[in-house]
């Protein structure tokens, strides 16, 4: 990335702090002026003539830092490693070597150099952030987000292409490029590439981009033009122009141009800061055109480059005074390339917040209570290289961003597209007989979704059915079949961040067999319901509501302990207490019959009980005679099984009166 333009470079330390020599005088002058290409040429020319280790360390550091600013990280690593080997006096040589090693994916070695720097400069948080980053990156890459990214090779050139903006309807883009054919036609000594211009491309009906062409001469000049931003109406173009001449000393300014027919008007400079000695750039205007975000190195900031905002009361009013975006966005490092989506959400890039590489893309998350937090978009949007300038198509999780990553790249800076594919949700449903656990074939299944989805389908011969679901939706699955109670299951895809297949089992009780109500508990010799019994009874309420055409008998049973009369009376009172509770929950009294059977109807062992208790076999009747032949422990178990509350269906044609 051409950092003289994109980052509006200011030297991070004073030349008075470094060891200049007569031999490096010319190279130092080019470095101080931000002409890093020429600086490296002269530094490398005098390097073999250096006599002392401090002089070699100084030249190596200057070359390494120049390459780092030109985004030539392999060369930067070679020379910064030499500077560290020669024990350069500035500890930043260790920090910057750690940075380029991290970008190269050498996390273990990078972490060691961050630790070394931390010992020398314990108060610089960049060491801690670097160490934490080296731990986080492998994890982020092993668990990528669902975004899919692709290099837009047809748009990109072998040079730098960066900072895309949409113009109306998302089928036209304006972007920056240093490709051949720029207006200046000369190499920029800061980057080694041509001065950047603004180019445009359009998408045809098949979704293919046209060949990029430069904007009119009203926009492009011999200087650098870049970081375009077009308002939502497509009528105003904001961009950065960086002058490199004796008068401006490399200052950058934001310009505005308006759409006139099929062209752009001569741009006018925006005076956003009072002192022209400070650069401003990277404009991004909010959808309502009342906020303009930009980047500047002016005083009262929190770091090198900060993101600022100016506001106005109407689209035609003057801009107010700059306001710093604050510590939730800005840091002691560089924050740049602000963009906003159609909802006004701010995105930006930072080299200081916890990230993967040089610049990472962040989203400013604002909670309802006003709390703000910078959220890293992680891999694969971010990489160990520089990633910046993200834009979104309206209403979609797709768009473009710029990256200097090398894998899959065409040039030094490339435009990449991204898309968040929809999550995939499905249901693997099986309907089972609640008594036998066997599948129920040809069961009617109805699906109702909170988004209005509704369909009816039938299970196959194995009681199975598969169907897809949508994101962020609540569903009700209802099953029905003649001679069975209706079944129901609730599920939701809300909150899921990965694809999921829901395995759903719905058990439908056959109506001809009594259904035991589990956990209906009473105190000894008492018929009043205990609180924990009401949970199970609430499920019965739901069953009755799901099956509004049935009437049922509520039956209570005791074991053989005690007299027949006492057991009959106790069971009748217990069954009536269940009926009374159901009535309080809105179940019509004429749908309910209370019946106490005492000890007269001992339980017959079913397959489920036989599986649970090895001393029982399916078909055994737990009569007094059978139980008394068992051990004391087994007798207690079987008596407990007999002490039960059940319901059975009496009719299926009930009509509400």
pLDDT tens for each residue of 9-50: 333 333 333 455 678 999 999 998 888 999 999 999 999 999
CA dist 65 and 68 (Å) reads 5
CA dist 361 and 515 (Å) reads 59
Backbone dihedral region for residue 643 (phi beyond 0: left; psi -120 to 50: alpha; all else: beta): beta
Residue pLDDT, tens place only, 424-472:
999 999 999 998 899 999 999 999 999 999 999 999 999 999 999 999 9
Q: What is the pLDDT of residue 247?
A: 52
Q: What is the pLDDT of residue 14?
A: 35
pLDDT surpassing 60 at residue 609: yes
Q: What is the pLDDT of residue 20?
A: 59
| Tokens 């930072």, residue located | 350
Band of pLDDT at residue 513, cut at 50, 70 and 90: confident
Which DSSP category does 389 fall into? E
Token readout for 222 is 């011999």
Nearest to 130 by CA among 343, 444, 360: 360
Strand order from edge to edge, sheet including 213-214: 161-166, 172-177, 197-202, 213-214
CA dist 486 and 584 (Å) reads 23
Is residue 182 a contact partner of residue 220, using CB atoms and an 8 Å limit? yes
For residues 570-581, give the mean pLDDT. Answer: 94
From 75-79, 245-249, 351-355, the region with the lowest mean pLDDT: 245-249
Q: What is the pLDDT of residue 5?
A: 42
Band of pLDDT at residue 3, cut at 50, 70 and 90: very low
pLDDT surpassing 80 at residue 190: no
Q: What is the pLDDT of residue 336?
A: 96
Q: What is the pLDDT of residue 286?
A: 96
For residues 310-321, give the mean pLDDT. Answer: 94
Domains and CATH numbers, the chain: 3-142 (1.25.40.10), 148-419 (2.120.10.30), 425-508 (2.60.40.1120), 515-651 (3.30.1330.60)
Is residue 521 a contact partner of residue 533, using CB atoms and an 8 Å limit? yes
Is residue 460 a contact partner of residue 466, using CB atoms and an 8 Å limit? no
Band of pLDDT at residue 516, cut at 50, 70 and 90: confident
For residues 194-205, give the mean pLDDT. Answer: 91
Interior/surface letters 303-342, b for 16+ CB within 10 angstroms, e for the rest:
ebbbbbbbeeeeeeeeeeebebbeeebbbebbbbbbbbbe
Backbone dihedral region for residue 585 (phi beyond 0: left; psi -120 to 50: alpha; all else: beta): alpha
Residue pLDDT, tens place only, 577-597:
999 999 999 999 999 999 999
Q: What is the pLDDT of residue 192?
A: 77
Nearest to 65 by CA among 25, 20, 29, 31: 31
Residue pLDDT, tens place only, 349-396:
999 999 998 899 999 999 989 899 999 999 999 999 999 999 999 989
Token readout for 486 is 């209706």
Length of the chain: 657
In angstroms, how far apart are the furthest CA atoms of the chain?
118
| Tokens 């530094």, residue located | 43
| Backbone phi and psi for residue 170, each to the nearest 5 degrees, phi listed first | 65, 15
| Tokens 């139980």, residue located | 627
Q: Which residues pair with 13 in a beta bridge?
A: none
Backbone dihedral region for residue 541 (phi beyond 0: left; psi -120 to 50: alpha; all else: beta): alpha
Q: What is the pLDDT of residue 6?
A: 44
Band of pLDDT at residue 517, cut at 50, 70 and 90: confident
Q: What is the pLDDT of residue 217?
A: 82
pLDDT surpassing 50 at residue 479: yes
pLDDT surpassing 90 at residue 519: no
Q: What is the pLDDT of residue 250?
A: 53
For residues 129-139, give the mean pLDDT. Answer: 95
pLDDT surpassing 60 at residue 248: no
Interior/surface letters 404-430, b for 16+ CB within 10 angstroms, e for the rest:
bbeeebbbbbbbbebeeeebebebebb
CA dist 261 and 243 (Å) reads 28
Instruction: State the chain's mean pLDDT as an integer.
Output: 90
């Amino acid at each position: 990335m051409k950092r003289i333009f994109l980052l509006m470079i200011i030297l991070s330390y004073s030349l008075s702090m470094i060891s200049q020599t007569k031999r490096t005088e010319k190279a130092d002058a080019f470095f101080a002026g931000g002409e890093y290409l020429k600086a490296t040429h002269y530094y490398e020319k005098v390097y073999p003539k250096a006599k002392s280790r401090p002089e070699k360390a100084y030249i190596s550091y200057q070359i390494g830092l120049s390459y780092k600013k030109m985004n030539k990280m392999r060369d930067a690593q070679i020379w910064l490693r030499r500077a560290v080997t020669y024990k350069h006096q500035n500890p930043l040589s260790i920090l910057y070597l750690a940075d380029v090693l991290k970008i190269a994916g050498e996390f273990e070695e990078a972490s060691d150099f961050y630790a070394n720097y931390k010992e020398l400069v314990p108060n610089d948080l960049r060491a801690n952030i670097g160490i934490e980053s080296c731990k986080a990156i492998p994890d982020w890459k092993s668990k990528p987000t669902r975004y899919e990214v692709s290099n837009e090779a047809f748009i990109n050139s072998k040079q730098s292409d960066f900072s895309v903006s949409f113009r109306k309807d998302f089928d036209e883009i304006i972007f920056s490029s240093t490709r051949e054919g720029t207006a200046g036609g000369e190499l920029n000594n800061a980057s080694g590439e041509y001065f950047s211009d603004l180019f445009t491309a359009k998408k045809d009906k098949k979704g293919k981009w046209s060949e990029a062409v430069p904007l009119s001469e009203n926009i492009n000049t011999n200087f650098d033009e870049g970081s375009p931003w077009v308002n939502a109406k497509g009528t105003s173009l904001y961009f950065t122009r960086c002058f490199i001449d004796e008068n401006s000393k490399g200052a950058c300014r934001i310009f505005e141009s308006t759409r006139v027919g099929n062209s752009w008007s001569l741009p006018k400079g925006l005076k956003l800061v009072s002192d022209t000695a400070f650069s401003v750039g990277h404009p991004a205007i909010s959808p309502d055109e009342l906020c303009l975000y930009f980047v500047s190195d002016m005083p009262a900031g929190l770091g090198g480059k900060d993101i600022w905002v100016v506001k106005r009361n109407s689209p035609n009013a003057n801009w107010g005074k700059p306001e710093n975006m604050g510590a939730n966005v800005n840091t002691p490092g560089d924050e740049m390339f602000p963009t906003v989506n159609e909802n006004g959400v701010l995105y930006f890039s930072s080299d200081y917040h916890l990230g993967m590489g040089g610049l990472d893309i962040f989203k400013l998350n604002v909670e309802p209570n006003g709390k703000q937090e910078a959220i890293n978009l992680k891999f694969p949007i971010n990489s160990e290289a520089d990633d910046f300038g993200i834009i979104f198509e309206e209403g979609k999780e797709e768009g473009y961003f710029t990256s200097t990553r090398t894998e899959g790249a065409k040039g030094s800076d490339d435009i990449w597209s991204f898309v968040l594919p929809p999550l995939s949700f499905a249901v693997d449903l099986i309907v089972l007989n609640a008594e036998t656990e066997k599948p129920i074939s040809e069961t009617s299944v109805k699906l109702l979704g909170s988004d209005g989805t509704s369909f009816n389908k039938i299970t196959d011969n194995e009681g199975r059915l598969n169907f897809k679901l949508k994101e962020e939706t609540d569903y009700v699955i209802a099953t029905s079949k003649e001679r069975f109670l209706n079944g129901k299951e609730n599920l939701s895809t809300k909150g899921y961040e990965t694809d999921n297949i829901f395995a759903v089992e719905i058990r439908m009780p056959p109506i001809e067999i009594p259904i035991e109500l589990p956990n209906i508990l009473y105190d000894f010799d008492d018929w009043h319901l205990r609180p924990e019994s009401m949970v199970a009874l609430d499920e019965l309420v739901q069953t009755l509501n799901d099956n509004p055409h049935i009437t049922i008998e509520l039956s209570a049973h005791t074991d053989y302990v005690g007299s027949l009369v006492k057991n009959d009376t106790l069971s009748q009172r217990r069954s009536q207490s269940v009926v009374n509770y159901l009535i309080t929950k809105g179940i019509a009294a004429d749908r309910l019959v209370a019946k106490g059977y005492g000890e007269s109807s001992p339980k017959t062992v079913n397959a489920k009980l036989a599986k649970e208790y090895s001393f029982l076999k399916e078909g055994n009747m737990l009569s007094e005679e059978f139980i008394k032949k068992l051990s004391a422990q087994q007798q207690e178990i079987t008596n407990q099984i007999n002490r039960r509350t059940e319901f059975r269906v009496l009719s299926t044609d009930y009509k509400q009166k």
